[in-house]
Structure 1
Amino acid sequence: MDPSSPPSSILIIGSGVFGLSTAFELTRRPFFARTSITVLDRSPDNGVFPSSDASSIDSSRIIRPDYADPAYASLAAKAHEYWRQQVDDELGGQGRYTESGMILLADSPSTAQADPKTGLGAKQVEEKKKSALEYVRESWDNVRALAAQEASGLSAEKIRELPNATAVMEAMGTDPTIAAVNRPGDWGYLNGTSGWADAEKSMAWFFNKVRQTGRVNFVHGTATALTRTGDRVTGARLDSGRHLEADLVIVATGAWTGALVDLAGQAIATGQALAYMDITPEEQAALCRRPVILNLSTGLFVIPPAVCQLKVARHSYGYINPQPTSPDVLPTRPGARLPANSTSLPRTLLSDPNLRIPSEGEADLRRAIRAMVPLKELHNRPFVKTRLCWYTDTSTGDFLIDYHPGWKGLFVATAGSGHGFKFLPVIGELIVDCLKGRRPAEFDEKWKWKGNDAKEDVQQLDKHIVTEDGSRGGRPGLILAEELAKDNSLKPRM
């Protein structure tokens, strides 16, 4: 896009956090006052944006400035200012945001597997990757630094170290005899100014805000391919056969991005395990004021319940779902070959109504309930439903927000890497800055396109994209179909 001349039309594919916030910011900029803006989403429900199986649609998402990276911590603190506005007509009002506090935890490195000289596990020694404990300690430093800035809105009095497992269990109110078997974590801290948001209600609020501008045309339909002429992307072809054209196309399709664009080994769709448990009003009252609990070593977390339903989830390396690469995927440049290997794409309840998470995931979530929830009567209660939440992961946990270097007229805003939702009120402003060629200096290297054309020389590349920023737990490389195949259909679910 010529930074001095606005495009006459922009097509945004995807109405999740990145797509919807970009559309809203475009309506606020005088530079785009005469630009027609269209948002396309694959949602099958008339008037509902985004689709119900999008990663931004759920009962809850964590809202926190607790990051090991100072740039993300600062940006999250800015977003937090909007979430904390509790007036009914603001984003955080009407129960959309709850400031419950959050306990961020990590486990000590296993001494059995640690190098006696460095104290690091074998995998860390080999790859020199940040550990979960390092991440939490750096996050602790960052939130305390932010709390020292009056404008941040954080309170130093509400940030408290939990120096050992005993302090962790006391803060959580868990039974030490239970926690001795299912340890919740060895070191961490409580940030009383973090919390959680009702994701579905927040997205509905934001969608209505965008719609009320009267500037955005919302279209239902699934993009099956990006259309192009020469080296320019000109629009999208829909599954209905309809074509949408635009001077500038913004792909903000999250975990579905690989179905449209060859991401050149930069990002991968991973499915994260979630489960829900019905509880009584009395149990709700006992748990609703507890903090969010997140252990980055295991990836397991529990969010305080709402409307008598408790959610437990895993922020991990996730499951991959390799699918043959479609010939309609846009290659890295005109004439480039598509990768021979498969692409991981989401599998959800919309495409498979009988889908459940694998037993491996359910068993791990059950461990979280037993370690993190003080009510023993819930420890063996069955889950009423499960779900896979699909991330778009990069190896560093950074977003991908940049013009495509191989195609004119194409901009990519994706790779939320499992932590993008909290930035809903501020990320659109930065995306549009990037459109205008003014990517913030602190995110310049983090968000730029990093792909290359050597992909055909790498086999099974999807398995090699693993987020190693210290924020993930579990086992990497789990393949969804293989884990589901291990399940015995006659074995009762927990």
Structure 2
Amino acid sequence: MAAISTLGISPAADFATEDSPRSALPALLTTAVNMSPDLPNHILIVGGGVFGLSTALALSRRHKGSITLLEAAPAIPNPHGSSVDSSRILRADYANPAYARLAQQALTQWRSTPWGHDGRYNRNGLVLVASSSSSGDHTYVRKSYENIKCLSPDAVELLPTASDVRRVVPGYGVAAHVSGGYVNWDSAWSDAESAIRHAKHLLDETGRVTFLSGQAERLIIDHSNNNQNQVTGVELSDGNRISADLVVLATGAWTGKLVDLRGRAEATGHPLAYLPLTDEEQRQLNDMPTVLNLSTGMFIIPPRNNELKIGRHGYGYRNPVRINHPTASSAPVEVSLPLHGTSVPLEGQLAARAALREMLPALADRPFSKTRVCWYTDTPKGDFIISYHPEIKSLFIATGGSGHGYKFLPVLGDKIVDAMQGILDSDLARLWAWTDNPVTTPAGGLGVVWTEDGSRSGARGMLLVDELEKSTNTSPSNCPSNCPSNSTNDNSGDAKVISKL
């Protein structure tokens, strides 16, 4: 198999290591690692998703002061949250060993504690494949295999050929353009919305966290403190203010509205489509493993409640808008922000159809029950941003999930608080540090971020509004033969959204 066997992988392959030496830690982090400062009394967490809830849980155990969590939606889970869905993949299959180790710790919690109860942990396995035409995808598969083989040697099975893949996933089409891969039977999937509710329930039981509902409009910054910018709270869209000694921004794809992340993080939308199944089809597919094709970015997760989910982990769609600079009195800036209330553009629906033809061809022409765009906060290498802001005092950033943060929910909060206290493991501190080298344009300005961690594929540069307009303008007469014209999705609402932009 080009993706695995020709690259010399053996079951005894050494655990992959990072090239960066410990001395590469930024000076700011090197100083922080040698300190364990007490946390300030009143901490305000903005955002009630994976990063915000996990931080609140850790603080409820480790912080004696007051904790407030502000969520934009009236209740948690927020229906527009990136981790509020029927399913999310739980995997330790990473090319980067630091993420593989941390994910393995999280999987232990999913398996052995109430985190995994009530459908929140379903051990179906993960099949990771690549085509024979893309060496970059093979590299990610190879490194992931090496790492997971050391972490879970008895759970990993090499799939050297396409026929081996079809043996593990019987429905996989005979025309599948894959050269092989591997299956990790320890991987699983989770009822994501249920897990968010569980996290909120755990916080309610502590009685330690004050929950508030409101849309954070801007940071309140005091410029008079010896010429040092210092955050003292947030102002809401209704004009009310919340004061705090430390503000933690865990606002996901909306973070770029509150602090300048240009060149460091980008909000990107990714297509998800859902297919209705009969009771018999649910039974037939219930035990299938999740399949992720790194050459196309397409994945299919085992069905839940008679609904099959197809998604794409690619470069995504941007939604650039002009806003006032979040923290400075300067000219407006362009950032990508989520656009909710839209279905997936025709381009994304066709990609889902193509994935079904390859993976489950018998279902390829069935109308979708719904589609949605899931918003990531992408960073250049897919690394989280978990760090104090270097230029704004009392501001801590916890974002940059890059489409793979959910699985860490049971363990991420303690790592975030470790970073707040300056005691985070050096390998994670290095990965999650605020970068001094943002993406730039040829002219030297701050550039657009596309995640290049080896796990993404497909087209770069797509704009959501443009793709939605193409969908609206595509009529049955000029629709391609494989156009999902019988889909139950209606893009007329998208046209109304576009007209308001």
- The alignment's TM-score, normalised by the length of structure 1, stands at 0.85
Q: Give 1:398-413 correspondences, 5 Å limit.
A: 398-413=383-398
SS for the counterpart of 2:69 is: strand
SS for the counterpart of 1:135 is: helix
Match of 1:449 in 2: 434
SS for the counterpart of 2:132 is: coil
Aligned-partner Cα distance in 2 for 1:8–1:75: 29
Q: Give 1:69-218 correspondences, 5 Å limit.
A: 69-85=96-112, 90-109=114-133, 131-147=136-152, 156-174=153-171, 178-180=173-175, 182-183=176-177, 185-218=178-211
Decide whether aligned partners of structure 1 residues 458 and 70 sit closer, same or farther in structure 2, where only a CA change above 3 A counts.
Answer: same
Residue 4 (structure 1) shift: 3.7
SS for the counterpart of 2:86 is: coil
Aligned-partner Cα distance in 2 for 1:37–1:212: 14
Counterpart amino acid of 1:67? Y
Counterpart amino acid of 2:358? A
**Per-residue CA distance 1:265-316 (angstroms, 9 max, x = gap):** 1010000000101111100000010000001111100000010011000000
Q: Which one of the candidate residues 39, 49, 61 is aligned to 1:16?
A: 49
Contact in 1 for aligned 2:85/2:191 (Cα 8 Å): yes
Aligned-partner Cα distance in 1 for 2:467–2:47: 29
Decide whether aligned partners of structure 1 residues 80 and 326 sit closer, same or farther in structure 2, where only a CA change above 3 A counts.
Answer: same
Contact in 2 for aligned 1:41/1:50 (Cα 8 Å): no
Match of 1:482 in 2: 466
Contact in 1 for aligned 2:298/2:355 (Cα 8 Å): yes
Decide whether aligned partners of structure 1 residues 395 and 452 sit closer, same or farther in structure 2, where only a CA change above 3 A counts.
Answer: closer
Instruction: Say if 2:235 is the partner of 1:253.
Output: no
**Per-residue CA distance 1:25-68 (angstroms, 9 max, x = gap):** 00101xx21x110000111x3xx213111101000000001001
Decide whether aligned partners of structure 1 residues 244 and 343 sit closer, same or farther in structure 2, where only a CA change above 3 A counts.
Answer: same
Quick one: percent identity of the two aligned structures? 45
Q: Give 1:368-447 correspondences, 5 Å limit.
A: 368-373=355-360, 376=362, 378-447=363-432
Contact in 2 for aligned 1:266/1:451 (Cα 8 Å): no
Aligned-partner Cα distance in 2 for 1:72–1:79: 10
SS for the counterpart of 1:426 is: helix
Residue 139 (structure 1) shift: 0.4
Residue 85 (structure 1) shift: 2.1
**Per-residue CA distance 1:380-411 (angstroms, 9 max, x = gap):** 00001000000001110100000000111100
Gap runs ≥5 in structure 2: 1-31, 224-228, 477-484, 488-501
Aligned-partner Cα distance in 1 for 2:141–2:47: 33
Residue 460 (structure 1) shift: 8.1
Counterpart amino acid of 1:291? P
Match of 2:226 in 1: none
**Per-residue CA distance 1:444-466 (angstroms, 9 max, x = gap):** 2210111469979858855x311
Aligned-partner Cα distance in 2 for 1:140–1:458: 40
Match of 1:348 in 2: 340
Counterpart amino acid of 2:284? A
Moved more, 208-217 or 480-489: 480-489
Counterpart amino acid of 2:126? M
Q: CA RMSD in A?
A: 2.0
How many pairs were matched up?
A: 440
Decide whether aligned partners of structure 1 residues 91 and 309 sit closer, same or farther in structure 2, where only a CA change above 3 A counts.
Answer: same
Match of 2:450 in 1: 466
Aligned-partner Cα distance in 1 for 2:465–2:432: 31
Contact in 2 for aligned 1:221/1:239 (Cα 8 Å): yes
**Per-residue CA distance 1:171-227 (angstroms, 9 max, x = gap):** 21136xx432x43x2221011110100000011011110111101001110001000
Decide whether aligned partners of structure 1 residues 213 and 446 sit closer, same or farther in structure 2, where only a CA change above 3 A counts.
Answer: same
Contact in 2 for aligned 1:14/1:50 (Cα 8 Å): no
Contact in 2 for aligned 1:60/1:196 (Cα 8 Å): yes
Instruction: Say if 2:222 is the partner of 1:223.
Output: no
Match of 1:65 in 2: 92
Counterpart amino acid of 1:142? N
Contact in 2 for aligned 1:102/1:195 (Cα 8 Å): yes
Residue 3 (structure 1) shift: 4.4
SS for the counterpart of 1:212 is: helix
Match of 1:296 in 2: 294
Residue 369 (structure 1) shift: 1.2
Counterpart amino acid of 2:387? D
